[in-house]
Structure 1
Amino acid sequence: MDFEVRAARLWRTSILAGAAFGLGTIQGAVIPLPNGSFEAPATVFVNTHVDNWQKGPKPDWYVETDEYRWDQLTGVFKNPAPSAVDHLQNCDGAQALWLFAVPEVELSQDYLSQDWNDPSPTHAFDARFQVGKAYELTVGINGGGGGMQEGVTMEISLYYRNDDGEAKAVAATTISHSAETFPNHTWFTDFSARVGTVQPSDAWAGRHIGVRIRSTVPLESQGGYWDLDNVRVVETPETSLTLTSTLEGTDLRVGWLSTQGFEYQVEVSENLVSWTAYEAPLAGTGGPLFRLVAADQHPPAFVRVQATPAR
C-alpha cells in the first residue's frame, strides 16, 4: 500500500490532452475532390462544360434564347495573362469557374453526380461523413462581376442524400455581395461552411458527402456573375482528446482513442512550459492506444498527447 501511494505521488493529478487546452493541434486532412480547382476541361478561353460537376436542371420559368442558354450560365474560363488588368492574382491553377447570378443556377458533386458527358455516375467523389470527424468546405469566391447589385447572394453547402435520394443540407453559408466584402475584383476570398463532429445519431452519419454551389438571388435582383475557384473539403478528427490514466506498478498508463491517418506523440513536462517527446509517436488505428510512462525515468510530471497528420 505504501509503495502504491508513493508511486502515485510521482504524478501530478492534472493530465492534459494537448488539443483540448491549446497545447497541441489536430490538423485536418484534405479530402480529394475531383476537379475542385476547375482545371477540366482545359480551355484557352471559356468552356461551358465542367468536368465532374453536375449542373442544376433548367427551371420551367427560365426562357432560353440563342444568346442566353441555361447551360451557359456556368462554365470554366482560363485566367487572363498576368499582364491583364483582370488577371486573378491568387487563382489556383490556370482556370476558374463563372456562375451567373440567376436564381437556381447551381453545381453539385457527390457519389451519384453526373457531369455533361457521363452516361451514368462515375462515383469519382467517394467520401462519407464519418462518426467522430468534423468537416469544412472552403471555396474561393470573387463577387461583383458584370454589374452585380449589392446584396446579391449565393450559397455553398455540404449535404447528404436521404433514402429517397433527396439532397439534404448539413451546413450552408450564404455569401452576400458588397463592395466591402469584395473590394478587389482580381482576388478570391475564402468562405467556409462547417459541419461539427458527426455523432452516431446524426442522419448524415455514414452517408456520402455532397458539395453544392448555387445562386440564391431573387428574380428581381438577378444579374452579374460570380467567379469561383479552389473548392476544398477538409476532414478533422474530434478536436479534443480524452485521456485516461492508471498506475501499473511504478508506471503511468496513458490511453486515448485514436484516428487512422494521424500519429500521436506523448510528451512530458515538469513545468507546463518545456515539453519533451516520450519515445516514438504511435500511429492511429481507429481504436484505443496507450503508452506506459516510466516513473523512474521522469520525476513528478505533466503528460500530454499531441496529434498530427501522419507523414
Structure 2
Amino acid sequence: MIQQTQPAFKSGFQLVRRLKCFLINAGVVAWSAWFGATHAGPIAVPNASFESPATFFVTLNFDSWQRTPQWASWDENASGPWTNLTGIFKNDPPGSAVHIDNCDGDQASWLFANPEVGLFQDYDTVDWDDLSPSHAFDVKFETGKSYHLTVGLIGGGYNMLPETPLEASLYYRDATSNKVIVAATTITYSSAYFSNRTQFVDFTVATSVVRADDPWSGQNIGIQFLSTVSSNLAGGYWDLDHVRLSSILAPTLLNPTRTNGQFQFTLQGEPGQEVEILASTNASLPAANWISLGTVTNTTGNVPFIDTSANFDQRFYQARQLP
C-alpha cells in the first residue's frame, strides 16, 4: 500500500492507493488529482489480422511481425528452412469444406508446433523487408491501466497431439533489450476446445493494473505468440487471426468533499464499468472485511457517489471493479 499526504492541510487528508482509496479525517476537505492519462479502449496493432502482404495462396513474408530466432537444435538440412514454420495463408472461399467462417478479413497465419517457433511485434520489430525498425507499434504501458490481449486460434492441424501448448504474452524489453513477460497465458490443444478447423476460438491474456513503480510502467508494449512445446509433443500447427489489444482504466476516486456529515467523491473509470464501493475505518483490514456501500455503474466515465453516514473520525474508501 502506498500512502500519500497532502502537505497543504495540517491535519490530514490522505490518499491511499489500494486500487484507489481515500481516507477522510473529520472536518477536513481536500482535492486529489488522477495520476496519468484517462483515455482507454482499443489499441491499434499493425497488421493485426495478417492481411499484409496480400497473397493468392500463401506467403512466408510478414509485414509488421518478426519471427523468433531459429531454435539451436533445428536442423534445416533434415527438416527444412526455419522460415517455413510460420507464414500467411489466404482463407478458402465460402462453400469450401475448409473455409474458416469467422476469419477476420481474407487471410490468417500459421505457426508450427515446434520448440521456440513464434511471432512477435514491438517498437523495435524488423519485418521481412525492413533494414531498420519502423517503430509503427508505438504503445506504452501506462500507469493506472490494465491491458488485454486477445487472439483467435485454431489448433489441431497435422494431427497435433493433445496438450500441445502455445503461449500468448505481453512483454516489455529491459535495458539490454531482453523480453520480460508482464502477463502470459498458455493455450493447450484439446478437441474439447477445438472441435473443428473452421472456427477461430478467442483466448485472452490480461495484465494487472500497472503501478507507477512497476518496471514496465512507461515501457513499450510487446506482443508474442510462442510455441513452448517440448520435443516429444512437437508436430502439427496452429492458425492465428484477429489480434486485439485494449486497455482498461482502473476505477479512480477523485474530488472528495465533506459537508454536514456526508462525504462525496467522483468515481472515474471506463464507461459502463460496474464498481463496488467499500469503506472501512481500518485500511489494514483485508477487503473481505470492508463494508460494502453499494455498487455503481459508471455510465459516462465520471459519476458522483455520496456516503450519507460518514460521521467517523476517519474512514477509508475503496473502489473495487466487478467482473
Give the TM interval when normalised to the shorter protein.
Answer: 0.7 to 0.9
Using the size of structure 1 for normalisation, the TM-score is 0.72
Task: Tell which has more relative contact order, 1 or 2 (C-alpha 8 A, sep 6+).
Answer: 1
Select which of 185, 189, 192 maps to 1:177. 189
Select which of 208, 212, 220 maps to 1:208. 220
State the partner residue of 2:130: 118
Q: Deviations over 1:200-251 (max 9, x none)?
A: 111111100000001111111111100010011111100x2425542579x9
State the partner residue of 2:257: 246
DSSP-derived class of the 1:223 partner = coil
Select which of 208, 226, 229 maps to 1:217. 229
Deviation of 1:255 after TM superposition, in Å, equals 3.5
Q: Deviations over 1:26-76 (max 9, x none)?
A: 995111000010001100100011110010111231111387210010000
DSSP-derived class of the 2:83 partner = helix
Paired residues, what number? 250
| Contact 1:159/1:171 (<8 A) preserved | yes
Select which of 107, 116, 125 maps to 2:119. 107
| Contact 1:141/1:189 (<8 A) preserved | yes
Deviation of 1:291 after TM superposition, in Å, equals 7.6
Using the size of structure 2 for normalisation, the TM-score is 0.70
Q: Deviations over 1:90-142 (max 9, x none)?
A: 10000000000110101100001111111001000000000000001101000
Select which of 114, 124, 129 maps to 2:141. 129
| Contact 1:253/1:290 (<8 A) preserved | no
DSSP-derived class of the 1:71 partner = helix
CA distance in 1, matches of 2:103, 2:231: 30
CA distance in 2, matches of 1:141, 1:290: 38
Q: Deviations over 1:176-217 (max 9, x none)?
A: 001111112111111111101000111111100000001111
> Which residue type is aligned with residue 146 of structure 2?
A
> Which residue type is aligned with residue 185 of structure 1?
R
1:90 aligns with 2:102: yes
Q: What is the percentage of aligned positions where both structures have the same residue?
A: 42
Answer 1 or 2: which has greater strand percent: 2
Matches within 5 A, 1:13-52: 29-52=41-64
Change in 2 beyond 3 A, CA 1:258/1:179: closer
Point out where structure 2 has 5 or more consecutive residues left out of the alignment.
Answer: 1-20, 22-37, 274-293, 307-323
| Contact 1:148/1:224 (<8 A) preserved | yes
DSSP-derived class of the 2:238 partner = strand
Change in 2 beyond 3 A, CA 1:263/1:176: closer
User: CA-atom RMSD, angstroms?
Assistant: 3.3
Select which of 71, 89, 112 maps to 1:59. 71
